[in-house]
Structure formats: structure tokens, C-alpha cells
């Protein structure tokens, strides 16, 4: 997603829409952080059900045969039938809190670095530099957002457990408080390693593929720098990012939801998750939940980008350009 902002300044003049590009450094640093989080929160209202289905698919197979979801559609039907339609929005408060922490930090850090290292004439940094910025921003956001991520994973997966084993968190703040009290403060950062790794992989993949996809689309006669181009570039970026990051995401999900029995954790890190998955369920289990993951990542990237660009444009037009 962060690559979307970077590519905009690279577009050829004849292909830029009438609003023009926002010069690097035009918006205050605090505004970049605020708008990044706001855009992410707006997108999560649409993508939360897909995130829940993705998490259920990744945990499918744990807890017995009756917890197996054959396909994403099968998971959707079973959730609605057994838990009700609004169960698709279980964990919404955690999803919003995650965006308020992770996305605010990630997008704010990226834009701040992007502005800082753009040349005085407005020329953006090179591709490798932008990839490095994306990885730094992703890692920083993941460190801050891991507690919200753990709450989100647990709240969206709670319905798959037998009633006697469900945690029953009321909201994200109840989840954070109970996890700290019942399992120790350090549990809020369980799986922080794979979470940070996933964030770095996702940001690097999104940045590189979005940039290249948009650059290619703008060389054709069918696209200009508008929402249609952003949508196409984001979906291509989402596909590549999904393929690359899903094994890391599955390891993160399983580690964050695992139980410790008699002091022995279920998994001993990402490598152990991958080994057990491949041995028990086959190599393609590393991409279990691919459809909802991609269906979420693509629209979430598109929506976040559209919201962010509109918010930045409004702020620039009303508070910067007219000064």
C-alpha cells in the first residue's frame, strides 16, 4: 500500500489527473500519521469479514474434523449458520485498533521517510530505497501493532472453539486487559518475530509490485493516473504479496493462537509451524485461506489507498495550497 504513494510522484505528466501530484513534504508529519490510520480504519469496515474467514481457514484442521473448513465459501456458510451473520464482524474493535496502531505507524513512517529523502526538486527516491523504507515502516508498525494483532486473531477465531474453551472477549480493550492479567504482559507480543517478518515482506512486496504494475499500466493507452489504474495495480500487487507472505502469515496466526499445556508451547517458532503443517497437511497448506486472504488484501489496499489519497488531497487543497 505504501508503494502507492511513492508511485504517484513518478507518473508521467501527461498521465496525471487534473489534481496534480502533492509535492513531497507538503503535509505536516503528524498529518501523515493521522491520515494513514484514518484511511486504514475506513478500509477495515469493508474487509473485516474477509479477515475473519482468512483466520478461520488458516486455523482449519486444529480442534478436530468438525473444525475443518473445506473452502472459503464453506467457512462463510458455516459461520453464518452456526454463529449468525454479525459473527462475521467479531473482532471489529480489534481490527480498528490494529489499524489505529499498525497502519498509523506504517504509513506515517513511510511517508515521513519518503518526504525526507526526496530531492529538493521533488524527485522521489529510487526503487530500492523505497523498498527499504517500506520494510522499515512495516517493521516499526508491526512492533507497535502486535498487541492489537493478537487480540484480533483471538477474537476472530474464538467462534471455532467449543463453548467451554471460548475466551469470550467483550472488545479489544477487554482482550488486552485479560491477556495481560491471565497470561502475562509479554503474551501481547507473542509471535512478534513472525509478525515483524510478515510486515517487512508485505511492505516490500507491495511497494515493488505496485510500483512496477502502475508504471506498466501507465505506458498503455488504456490507463491514466486515476482510480481505475490504482485498482488494477493494487490487485496485481495484492496477488504477488499474498503468494509471498501467506506462509509467514499462517505461522504468525498459529503461534498467536496456540495454547501452552503444562508449560510446553504447541509450536517452537515459525519453522516448527511450517514443518508440522507440511508433514500433516501437505505443502499447499502453507497457502490455506488464499482466497479470503487475497480477497481482503486487494480491496483493503485499494480502499486504503483511495481514502488516503482523498484525505491527503483535501488537506493539501484546503490547508496548504490556499495559504
Reduced to 3 states (helix: H, G, I; strand: E, B; else coil), residue 261 is: strand
Is the distance from CB of 233 to CB of 283 less than 8 angstroms? Answer: no
The winner for highest mean pLDDT among 68-72, 148-152, 212-216, 292-296 is 148-152
Q: pLDDT tens digits for 189-202?
A: 987 887 888 889 88
- Binned at pLDDT 50, 70 and 90, residue 2 comes out as very low
pLDDT at 66: 47
Helix H segments across the chain?
2-8, 29-59, 72-83, 92-98, 104-116, 127-157, 172-183, 192-219, 227-257, 270-281, 290-315
Higher pLDDT, 132 or 198: 132
CATH code of residue 162: 1.50.40.10
Choose the weakest-confidence range: 8-17, 32-41, 119-128, 284-293. 8-17
pLDDT of 1 strictly over 60: no
Domain that holds residue 205: 2-320
pLDDT at 202: 83
pLDDT at 22: 67
Please state, rounded to an integer, the average pLDDT across all residues of the chain.
80
Q: Which three cell numbers stand for residue 53?
A: 474467514
Q: How far is CA 93 from CA 5, 74, 174, 290, in A?
A: 27, 25, 10, 24
pLDDT at 16: 42
Q: Which three cell numbers stand for residue 79?
A: 459461520
Task: Quote the CA–CA distance of 273 and 265 in Å, as a whole number.
Answer: 12
pLDDT at 181: 93
Higher pLDDT, 122 or 189: 189
pLDDT of 251 strictly over 80: yes
Choose the weakest-confidence range: 127-136, 152-161, 172-181, 188-197. 152-161
Q: Which three cell numbers stand for residue 94?
A: 480489534
Of 264, 167, 140, nearest in space to 272 by CA: 264
Surface-to-core class of residue 240, CB atoms within 10 Å of its CB (0-12 exposed, 13-18 middle, 19+ buried): middle
Is the distance from CB of 7 to CB of 210 less than 8 angstroms? Answer: yes
Q: Please state the length of the chain.
A: 323
Distance of CA 224 to the CA centre of its chain: 27
Of 297, 320, 319, 323, nearest in space to 40 by CA: 297
pLDDT of 125 strictly over 70: yes
| DSSP designation for 147 | H
**Mean pLDDT of the 168-180 span:** 91
Task: Quote the CA–CA distance of 322 and 303 in Å, as a whole number.
Answer: 27
User: What phi and psi values does residue 238 have, to the nearest 5 degrees?
Assistant: -65, -40
**Mean pLDDT of the 78-98 span:** 87
Q: pLDDT tens digits for 40-67?
A: 899 888 888 888 887 777 776 655 444 5
Choose the weakest-confidence range: 88-102, 167-181, 191-205, 293-307. 293-307
- Tell me the pairing of strands 260-261 and 264-265: antiparallel
Of 82, 19, 11, 75, nearest in space to 315 by CA: 19
Task: Quote the CA–CA distance of 297 and 301 in Å, as a whole number.
Answer: 6
Number of domains comprising the chain: 1
Q: pLDDT tens digits for 133-146?
A: 889 989 999 999 99
pLDDT at 17: 42
How much of the chain, in percent, has pLDDT values that exceed 70? 88
Amino acid at each position: 500500500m505504501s508503494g502507492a504513494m511513492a508511485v504517484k510522484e513518478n507518473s508521467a505528466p501527461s498521465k496525471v489527473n487534473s489534481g496534480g501530484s502533492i509535492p513531497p513534504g507538503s503535509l505536516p508529519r503528524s498529518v501523515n500519521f493521522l491520515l494513514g490510520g484514518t484511511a486504514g480504519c475506513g478500509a477495515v469496515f469493508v474487509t473485516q469479514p474477509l479477515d475473519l474467514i482468512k483466520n478461520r481457514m488458516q486455523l482449519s484442521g486444529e480442534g478436530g474434523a468438525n473444525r475443518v473448513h473445506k473452502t472459503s465459501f464453506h467457512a462463510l456458510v458455516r459461520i453464518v449458520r452456526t454463529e449468525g451473520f454479525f459473527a462475521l464482524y467479531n473482532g471489529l474493535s480489534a481490527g480498528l485498533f490494529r489499524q489505529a496502531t499498525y497502519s498509523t505507524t506504517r504509513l506515517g513512517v513511510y511517508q515521513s521517510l519518503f518526504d525526507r529523502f526526496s530531492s529538493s526538486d521533488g524527485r522521489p527516491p529510487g526503487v530500492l530505497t523505497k523498498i527499504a523504507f517500506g520494510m522499515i515502516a512495516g517493521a516499526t508498525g508491526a512492533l507497535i501493532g502486535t498487541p492489537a494483532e493478537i487480540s484480533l486473531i483471538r477474537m476472530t477465531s474464538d467462534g471455532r472453539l467449543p463453548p467451554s474453551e471460548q475466551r469470550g472477549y467483550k472488545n479489544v480493550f477487554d482482550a488486552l486487559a485479560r491477556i495481560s492479567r491471565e497470561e502475562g504482559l509479554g503474551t501481547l507480543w507473542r509471535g512478534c518475530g513472525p509478525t515483524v517478518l510478515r510486515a517487512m515482506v508485505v511492505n516490500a512486496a507491495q511497494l515493488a509490485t505496485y510500483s512496477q504494475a502502475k508504471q506498466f499500466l501507465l505506458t498503455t493507452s488504456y490507463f491514466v493516473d486515476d482510480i481505475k489504474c490504482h485498482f488494477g495495480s493494487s490487485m496485481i500487487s495484492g496477488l504477488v504479496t499474498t503468494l509471498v507472505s501467506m506462509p509467514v502469515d499462517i505461522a504468525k496466526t498459529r503461534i498467536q493462537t496456540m495454547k501452552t499445556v503444562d508449560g510446553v508451547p504447541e509450536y517452537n517458532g515459525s519453522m516448527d509451524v511450517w514443518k508440522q503443517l507440511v508433514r500433516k497437511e501437505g505443502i499447499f497448506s502453507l497457502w490455506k485461506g488464499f482466497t479470503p486472504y487475497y480477497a481482503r488484501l486487494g480491496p483493503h489496499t485499494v480502499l486504503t489507498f483511495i481514502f488516503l489519497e482523498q484525505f491527503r488531497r483535501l488537506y493539501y487543497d484546503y490547508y496548504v495550497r490556499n495559504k
